[in-house]
Structure 1
């Protein structure tokens, strides 16, 4: 492979490279924005498109005829946010844009009324106090002073906005981290924001669909920051990975591939809403039943890994794993620095001394040729493929590449193609500073594996010892969840987290759409906030679609969610359910989510204390309480927001419909 020198950022964020995007045919979303009361076009509406397929966000404004055009968009699922100072913001979600396709999306905006605020995907905007309470008549009166009458008696704008209006929103910077902000204590930490899910009106969309995620890297990253006396980067906080970091004691159902556990209670932070906890547990596989494995470790030994909490911790983690393997298993080790080479070919796990000697021999050298290492790992796995067994490449790295990346599309095709053959990819991240969370998560997602971040030996023990079968053996592929809310029972809902796993409702039944993998005994938990209308026997239907590990057509599991699972108070819910809410609220606080601003750190500490026995005796739950208190001492964002807009003056329950 011919090495190519390029900037650290372009290489480290190879998944976002221009050549990869340029090869795909792009599409267009366009439409017209009008005022609901009089059907006149609204100029200067800020239209923001967000999607996991995009680098950052795309922002345009409507013209004098209220029209907007978003062109050059890659295929994907989009959310559009429409904002104007005199109108209620509105979002259109789950817009599926095919490759080279065109979507025509018209919207009507209603007049803004006092205190009605809506926040959709993307960081919560600051509230324009001067705009609150202004009506549509005032808007058109001001506009008339500088505009021309339209042919239908309406008004259109020409030239710059009049001086007595607030300037339109500036286009926000892309959420992709391209430079180190002054407040961040660790250099070259690469993260990507996927926004914050909005509250959805069931009259407009009653289906909520997403791919499962069993990763927990985000929680370990947050812990690593806080243990070093710093707040974590908001962009690194993925709520679902906090929630899925804890064991809620679900029991498996021997008669079903998944057991379902549901419970709810009134929300401590959103008046009039209920928190609904939905947990799934995959079938267990005992240590004796686990399939034989060939594990190929691809280890980054470049100069950036030459630290005890990087390569040193990798070696400690591998020793733990080797001790858990038995005569059924084989291990290969490949390393990469400036070049890639094999340290140890396929070796039976019973040859402990030989394996330990190979691990001890690992030393740091050279630059970071990540692609060469990954290619070599797949070559070893392919040449020694274990029929009917577990074939997995395990990448241990800080995720940074500065040499040898030549074709972004090529590496994704390679990873995806090998996953289709049955060779999956797990990524395990190490290190603070010079770390690429974006790349590590994306590689695992494309490689149909899981992503972990190891900040301490205990995390490695959990991954490679306590949950070895779940880490290695997949029991369900392409697992998707869908909730269909009963409009008679539920007025509005919000999925807390899973922003980068959202799917359009049509994709739920489409077996061509990739989704998450679930290992043996793995649990998946999702948290919803729902606003109820009237008592009904059930309030939603849960559907789970999945494929067998060997592939084939998907299968469907369907469960009614009865209203009887809704408890009258937080304290009446089971301790594990309370714990899941505390974990979710902690992540929401750390990422600065609008929806938990009424919830203070002191209140969150109290909620953690109310989780109660016997969970408080568990080390991981005790650690959660300690981390919440550390964040409380470090966070000054709430103080700044309170000075701008006192939370006590805001009505977080009066959220307008999102269409």
Structure 2
């Protein structure tokens, strides 16, 4: 034994053995905002490339060599921190949130969600039968606070960890939908601004998109809720124009269901209906997104079914070409007579998805083909089917607006058909339709495709009045303040009404348009009327007094014939003689219910005494004939949304 000890000591001396000063440092990293562990934090020894990451419990362990005294902790969404090591080998740290945090990540599965988690632009990881692409999920780790991927490859056994939530099994889908931010119209004081001017809007995409969210057990993002599009999704029984007028104006006045002291004014426009056989010939270009993002059951397959429905409506005098785009754009069917349905449908059936998305190039080629086959007396239109997720070339909303505005002078309109979910770019498609003198629909199922492209074929594709504007003048003797419900991105300056160069919305054959104003009558005390101090440098506007005129509003309507550059104007007036709500038309009460539903979904600051129970009751009493069942469907949606909100409140 003594010999063995001697040998060991001799060996140590010969090898210059000495005690190592390397240290084993470990600890846990927490978020200072909520005290929960942070997974995926990078821990680096200063002055080296040596580092590690915290595990799913926020813990780390690292060997620090002699002479190194500092550790750096880095995590996107939090302020970086440098720690000087002391005597202790246990180093816990709390990171402070950074001011410029990234987009929120929301986990959606089969549990209920809070509305505040679903507003604005969000990234969503949805637990459903779809699978995620590995790069998409890997990009979350180290970039979004609280997300950690448990393994480098995201196969079936991989997991995603979020702070304070147990490990979630794959498969998962990363989603990134975008909606244009929108500030609601507020109440305007009539004494300072007696005129309200806006462009009409016949789009209906918001309603079917909201339906998709609610049917999937989610409340929609607030910016996805556009009240005018919800209202105008439905058919209203308005008489058409007489003589040769393209549009008739109708009005109705009652109390607002959510505030009985306020008035609710409904302005309805009804375009003339042209029989299909009398519609002008069409020069159509189907512009179809066949990029990789369209390779889902509710995207390209549904696009094909929709386009074939539309092909069935074409006549021999109509022509259609098909342009597709992925990494590049290409012509897959030259302009072909509408009676060659087998040829058209075969070209559609042969489409397959794959590659990146050069949407801008596709739009340019579609306009080129449309202009080459232009029909001077016909309907020249591009019908674009996409999820809006452009990622090659010109792709931003601004790029699209500039491109479409430039092409608008060609007199080729563009209709947008939105498809899919997850990476859906509503903001981009709304811009395309608005600036391209077209309309915008969201197709979430075959039934919706039939509604947009068969039942409403004429209204979707054939314009009877273009650049349609409304200007309402309120009588200050009768009105203190007013608010237009919706149309936030269609507002115009008062001078734009008489300016024929100012672009506005179009109305198609048989279309109806409804606009609602909430009015604060004169003579009642109301916080919404507003109050300002007297002016110092000019005379204050005198208090409104009765002027002997019973009129409450004058409604001016301006439009152009489809082939004209000069506008025409007509007007109607309405007296302050409101009906009782219960005696108004079923259409009035149903439109009011839809508007109230929209305010609740947006959590509007102007919802006042709105409730889901009132929405449901009002809509049930206004179903009318409802031959196609759309109003009954709305009632079911409102009932589902009520349950979702109830579940949300129970979890807060």
Q: TM-score w.r.t. structure 2 length?
A: 0.68
Is the 1:237–1:587 contact (alpha carbons within 8 Å) kept by the matching residues of 2? yes
Show the 5 A alignment for 1:477-556: 477-533=466-522, 537-556=550-569
Deviation at 1:635, TM superposition (A): 1.4
Q: Which moved more, 1:266-275 or 1:185-194?
A: 185-194
Which of 248, 254, 257 aligns to 2:246? It is 257
* 1:363 maps to 2:349: no
- Displaced runs of 4 or more, over 6 A: 181-186, 406-410
Distance 1:477 1:183, change over 3 A: farther
- Ranked by relative contact order (alpha carbons within 8 Å, sequence separation 6 or more), the top structure is 1
Q: For 2:600, which of 589, 596, 602 is the aligned residue?
A: 589
For structure 1, list consecutive stretches of 5 or more residues without a partner in the other structure.
1-174, 644-659
Counterpart in the other structure of 1:115: none
The answer on 1:473 being equivalent to 2:462 is: yes
Q: Indicate how the Cα distance of structure 1 residues 406 and 438 shifts in structure 2: closer, same or farther if over 3 A, else same.
A: closer
For the residue of structure 1 that corresponds to 2:496, the secondary structure is: helix
Q: Is 1:177 aligned with 2:188? A: no
SS of the residue corresponding to residue 435 of structure 1 reads coil
Alignment-derived partner of residue 190 in structure 1: 178
Match of 1:404 in 2: 393
Indicate the residue corresponding to 1:629 in structure 2: 639
What's the offset of the Cα at 1:449?
A: 0.6
Contact 1:186–1:432 (CA under 8 A) maintained in structure 2? no
Is there any run of 5+ residues in structure 2 with no aligned partner, and where?
Answer: 1-118, 129-172, 524-545
Where do 1:284-303 residues align within 5 Å? 284-303=273-292
Change (3 A) 1:500 1:451: same
Whole-angstrom distance in 1 between the partners of 2:376 and 2:254: 48
- 1:611 aligns with 622
Name the count of aligned residue pairs.
467
**How far did residue 406 of structure 1 move?**
7.3
- Farther off after superposition, 628-637 or 223-232: 628-637
SS in 2 for 1:386: coil
The two structures, once aligned, show a CA RMSD in angstroms of: 2.5
2:579 corresponding residue in structure 1? 567
TM-fit CA distance, 1:555: 1.3
Shift of 1:176: 6.2
Deviations 1:224-283 (A, max 9, x none): 111111111111110000110111111111222221111121112124101111100112
Match of 2:235 in 1: 247
Q: What corresponds to 1:74 in structure 2?
A: none
Q: Once the 2 structures are TM-superposed, how far is the Cα of residue 417 of structure 1 from its aligned partner?
A: 3.4
> Does structure 1 residue 438 correspond to structure 2 residue 427?
yes
Pick the structure with greater CA Rg: 2
Query: What is the CA distance between 1:481 and its match in structure 2?
Result: 0.6
- Checking the alignment, whether the CA contact within 8 Å between 2:256 and 2:262 is kept in structure 1 is yes
Distance 1:187 1:635 in 2: 22
Q: Distance in 1 between matches of 2:216 and 2:123?
A: 21
Say if 1:638 and 1:188 are closer, same or farther in 2 by CA, change over 3 A: closer
Contact 2:397 2:428 in 1 (8 A): no
Q: CA deviation at 1:523?
A: 1.1
What aligned pairs does 1:89-104 form with structure 2 within 5 A after superposition? none
The residue that corresponds to 2:38 in the other structure is: none
CA distance in 2, matches of 1:411, 1:210: 23
Q: Does 1:598 align with 2:542?
A: no
Distance of 2:426 and 2:257 partners within structure 1: 32
Alpha-carbon spacing, 1:607–1:301, altered in 2? closer, same or farther (3 Å): same
Take 1:469 and 1:484, find their aligned partners in 2: how far apart are those partners? 32
2:259 counterpart SS class: coil
Superposed CA deviations along residues 273-301 of structure 1, whole A, max 9, x for unmatched, are 01111100112211111110111011001
Q: Secondary structure at the match of 1:187?
A: strand
Aligned match of 1:234: 222
Alignment map for 1:200-239 (pairs within 5 Å) = 200-239=188-227
Q: 1:182 to 1:202 in 2, by over 3 A?
A: farther
CA distance in 2, matches of 1:489, 1:483: 14
Mapped pair 1:281 → 2:225: no
- 8 Å CA contact 1:589–1:597 kept in 2: the answer is no
Contact in 2 for aligned 1:178/1:190 (Cα 8 Å) = yes
Residues 217 and 411 of structure 1: is their aligned pair in 2 closer, same or farther, counting only changes over 3 Å? closer
